[in-house]
Structure 1
Amino acid sequence: MTILKIILAIVIGLLIGGTVNTGIIMVSGYIIPPPEGTDLKTLEGLLAAMPLMEPKHFLMPFLAHALGTLVGAFIAAKISTNNKMTFAIVIGCCFLVGGIMNIFMLPSPVWFTIIDLGFAYIPMAYLGGKIVLRKSN
């Protein structure tokens, strides 16, 4: 596999996965409205709103992280010609690093941190890789 194809698989997987993640976050406020009087458009507004958040407000961020990782891993594995699961897991690790960074910038409840870091990244990347492997057999 050429270096260019390796780089393309990872970059395209990250871009498309990131786009899915961002898209879900952008529509989340319409699906589950934020607490009354909060402004979630800035980091400061998010930090101020965190104590007012209920468990339902964490559903869409989890889905954004999980589905963004799943789609990104699927795309990277699909583009690669071999080592498909490796490419999927690389995407999962990249998104996991982003998730860890997000927790330091925007502290969330411990239960959400455990669920998000434990289930949204590596397991979804593995699932994305498995889907590609099953389709290719």
Structure 2
Amino acid sequence: MNPIIRNILAVIAGWLGGSITNMGLVQIGHIVFPIEGIDINDMQVLAEAMANYFEIYHFIFPFLAHALGTMAGAVIAGLIAASHKMTFSFVIGGLFLLGGIMVNYMLAAPIWFAILDILVAYMPMAWIGWEIANKIQKSR
């Protein structure tokens, strides 16, 4: 396969796999820690609930979703990319970081969560994802 096409597919597959992981964990979080009477698909309602009803444990699964979604996407991109595997893992981290910044802004997340999320859940997890992909490649 053409290396350029393979690298493009690495980004698409990494983004898609990471997004599926992210959304799956968010949905599991709402099962584990349900918020009665809140439509989690309505951003305005969710923002109001975050400000008024959320306890610290309600932020566990969103953080895990962001971190593990980024890591899964980075692993996938690192495994598929034809060249510059680390770069493509970090591209996934950057894409998820931009999304995380937007969501933290739109939902007016508590400052402690926004800082933790932005500093830990994206670029460090992209690096860990690349490390995992690198180890898998070396063991083959």
The TM tier, using the shorter chain, reads over 0.9
Question: Is contact 1:92–1:121 with CA below 8 Å preserved after alignment?
Answer: yes
Give 1:133 deviation, angstroms: 1.3
Counterpart for residue 98 of structure 2: 97
Separation (CA, whole Å) in 2 of partners of 1:92 and 1:41: 24
2:49 is aligned with what amino acid?
A
Aligned to 1:83: 84
Q: Distance in 2 between matches of 1:129 and 1:47?
A: 33
Q: Which runs of 5+ in 2 are unaligned?
A: none
Deviation at 1:135, TM superposition (A): 2.4
Q: What SS does the corresponding residue of 1:40 show, helix, strand or coil?
A: coil
CA shift for structure 1 position 40: 2.2
Query: Which residue does 1:133 correspond to in 2?
Result: 134
Determine whether 1:45 maps to 2:45.
yes
User: How far does residue 45 in structure 1 lie from its aligned partner after superposition?
Assistant: 1.3
Q: Distance in 1 between matches of 2:84 and 2:137?
A: 12
> What letter corresponds to residue 44 of structure 2 in structure 1?
E
Contact 1:77 1:132 in 2 (8 A): yes
Aligned to 1:59: 60
2:3 touches 2:82 (CA, 8 Å); kept in 1? no
C-alpha distance in 2 between matches for 1:117 and 1:67: 13
8 Å CA contact 1:40, 1:49 repeated in 2: no
Residue deviations 1:113-134 (CA, integer Å, cap 9, x gap)? 0110011000010000011112
Taking the aligned partners of 1:16 and 1:136, their CA distance within structure 2 comes to 18
- Which residue of structure 1 lines up, in the alignment, with residue 32 of structure 2? 31
* TM-score (ref. length: structure 2): 0.91
| Residues 47-92 of structure 1, C-alpha deviations (whole Å, 9 max, x = no match) | 2201211110000000000010000000000001322111111100
TM-score (norm 1): 0.93
Separation of aligned partners in 2, 1:14 and 1:39: 26
Query: For 2:14 and 2:20, how far apart are their aligned partners in 1?
Result: 10
CA contact (8 A) 2:44 2:107 kept: no
Segments of 5+ residues of structure 1 without an aligned counterpart are none
Instruction: Tell me the equivalent position of 1:5.
Output: 6
The offset of 1:29, in angstroms, is 1.1
Equivalenced residues, count: 136
**CA shift digits 1:8-29 (9 cap, x unpaired):** 0001100110011011112211
Check conservation: 2:79, 2:85, Cα contact below 8 A.
yes
